[in-house]
Structure formats: C-alpha cells, structure tokens
Amino acid sequence: MSHSEFRPIFLFLGLWITCPVFAQVQQPEDGIQALEDLLPDGEGKELVANYCTRCHSTERIRQAIVDGEGGNEAFWRTLVDRMRRVFNAPIASHDVDPIVRYLATHFGPSAGFETGGGDVIGADPDDELHAFLPNGEGKTLLTLYCTTCHHAIGLRQNIAKRAGRDQSYWNTLVRRMVTTWNAPIADEDIEPIITYLSTHFGPSWGAP
C-alpha cells in the first residue's frame, strides 16, 4: 500500500459504539459547529462536518484529518469509499466527489495547512493513543477499525501489554477479531494492519 493510497490515523479495542452502521447517531449541533470552526473554508466543508460528526467525535476527526499527514485525491477517495462500503456511512453518492475534493485540496500533501494540534478541543484519551502509535502505513487503518469497538485507553493498554510478540502472534490476534468478534475489517486491510503491528510492536519493540 503506497503513501498515496492509505496511511496512518483512527484506532482498535474497547467501547462498543452505538452505530456500527453509522446512520442513526447524530452529534449535537455544537459538535458540528466545533468541527466547522476547525476546518478551512471551501466547497465541501459543510458536507464533511455534517457527515463525519454523525459517528465520530470532533476530536477524533481532528486527529484523522487535521493532524494527519495528508493524502492525495486517491487516498481520500479510498478512505471515503471504506466509510461507505465497510461501515455503511450514509454519505450520498452525489456528495462523495465534493468531500474528496475538499479533503485533497485542504489536507493533501502539498496543502501547507497548519495543523490544529489540539488547540480547538481539549485533550482526551484519544490523544494519548494517537501519540502512542508510531506513524507508518497501517496506523490509519488500525485506528479507523479498532476504535469502532475498543475505547482508546483499553486499546493502548492492550497493544502495550502484547508488544514484543512476533508477526505470527499479531496475525492470529487480528484474524481472530474478524472471525470470532466480527470486527468489520475489509479483507484487503487485514494484512496492512498485521504488518503495522508486527513492525512497530514486534520483537524489537522497546529496543534502544
């Protein structure tokens, strides 16, 4: 998976959320306003704020979009497509292109946007998780999938407790999440997550 396709940001284990099917949970109006204050003006801004806050907190969206490393149009289209296909995000088909264009324009690799850094919204446990996970291919997938069922604190603790295991261990653990707990991880995203965990939390973890 290349830099332009999919890289780090949203995480894995703890608190069942009430919308594995994205649709029904609408954030309070002040959550939408907080995100609008954080995002730069441009066509598609209101769509991003309205759709994303239906199931994600403003803080988590900040980490994924504003504090992320950015991506080209293909990267953001892949992300939006996964939200619709895997998580049933209720994004109307005619809104996909404006959302992708907005994200690629303002949060692409050459956008030069000054990241929020958490100034707009107070820190919460997600910040610690975001800081705990090293940047690298698979971080975005890990955070995106794993925090749908696991709270940030529990996820961080579970990964730290298991750190130092080899790839075989992480392979078994991730696949068990899918087969036993019905984790909604797309088939093509399983290997990148396993590789990320075994690379950053494998036998060399914690070595000087």
Per-residue pLDDT of the chain (208 residues; tens, 9 = 90+): 444 444 433 333 232 233 333 333 444 566 677 778 888 899 999 999 898 888 777 777 877 777 766 678 888 888 888 888 877 888 999 999 999 999 989 888 766 544 333 332 333 456 678 888 888 888 888 887 887 777 778 888 899 999 999 999 999 999 999 998 888 888 888 999 999 999 999 998 877 6
Domain for residue 114, yes or no?
Answer: no
Burial code (b: 16+ CB inside 10 Å, e: under 16) for 44-73 equals bbbbbbbbbbbbbbbbbbbbbbbbbebbbe
Domain for residue 136, yes or no?
Answer: yes
**Residue 79 and residue 129 share a domain:** no
pLDDT score, position 150 = 79
Q: Rg for the chain (alpha carbons), in Å? A: 16
The Cα 204–Cα 194 span in angstroms is: 15
Q: Which domain holds residue 57?
A: 29-106
**Residue 71 and residue 99 share a domain:** yes
Domain for residue 16, yes or no?
Answer: no
The conformational region for residue 18 under phi > 0 = left, psi -120 to 50 = alpha, else beta, is alpha
From residue 163, alpha-carbon distances to 25, 30, 50 in Å are 34, 39, 37
Q: Identify whether the C-beta of residue 96 lies closer than 8 Å to the C-beta of residue 46.
A: no
**Residue 43 and residue 88 share a domain:** yes
pLDDT score, position 110 = 65
**Residue 59 and residue 93 share a domain:** yes
pTM of the model: 0.51
